[in-house]
Amino acid sequence: MNIFLAGATGSMGQKVVHLLSDKDGYDITGILTNKENINPTEYGLSSDVQAFTSLDSIEGDYDVWIDFTQPNIVFENVKYAIEHHISPIVGTSGLSEDEKKELIRLADSKKVNGLIAANFGLSAVLLMQFAKQAAKYFSDVEVIEMHHEDKTDSPSGTAIHTVDMMSENKRGANINQEDEPARGMYYKGVPIHAVRLPGYVAHEQVLFGGPGEALTIRQDSFDRESFMQGVWVALEKLPEFHGLVDGLENIL
């Protein structure tokens, strides 16, 4: 399986390089990076890996496109992959619902399989599942997500996806109103509070409140290595996908 890794020189990309370094049959043969004239071996890659700095310059044949880049370029990256019949596995957040729908339609028309995951951490996926269940019974909920200071999108894709999943079951509206100050950004009627601080990696709390009781669901990713189990599951199960799947929970 020839793999194209977009964002190979970033922190998440480097984790993917390490993940696949000892996996037989999974070869990173091309990368997309914003660094000019890099030496692939300095990033744990084979010396014959082709490095590209723009979509227009990409050459070669690839089976899978793994994307850990930036929100401002992920849509065009994934669109390029699908149009060139490369199966995308996308860990970059920032895709809007309309963009996801467009990519899913494009993948269907091109008969390309792939995955968009708001979070590859299994604890995060479980948090979303538990929050979805709890939303049946608590109408009042708020989300706090905490990430490292370099995360460019806010709120996080994980928080957005959490609310999307809860909204499938949530029966009542939050008691608080969107015109109240200091309530975070409202998404589908749910306040999401985003924290960006050094020392954090990726953490989320979903807080439910009811008469005389409260429920808090929390997950913590202390190391980016925690996301690699989900990436590996996606690679292994890719042949079983049907079209472009949105959410790691749908393949576990």
Among the listed residues 101, 111, 136, 147, the single catalytic one is 147
Pairing relation of β-strands 185-187 and 190-196? antiparallel
Among the listed residues 132, 151, 161, 193, the single catalytic one is 151
Backbone angles phi, psi at 101, to 5 degrees: -60, -40
Q: How distant, in Å, are the alpha carbons of 36, 40, 70 from that of 57?
A: 13, 17, 19
Q: How many CB atoms lie under 10 A from the CB of residue 56? A: 7
Q: Is 148 a catalytic residue?
A: no
Name, in order, each residue with C-beta under 8 angstroms of 104's C-beta and a sequence gap of 6 or more: 243, 244, 246
> Can you count the helices (H) and strands (E) in the chain?
6, 12
Q: Is 147 a catalytic residue?
A: yes
Catalytic residues: 147, 151
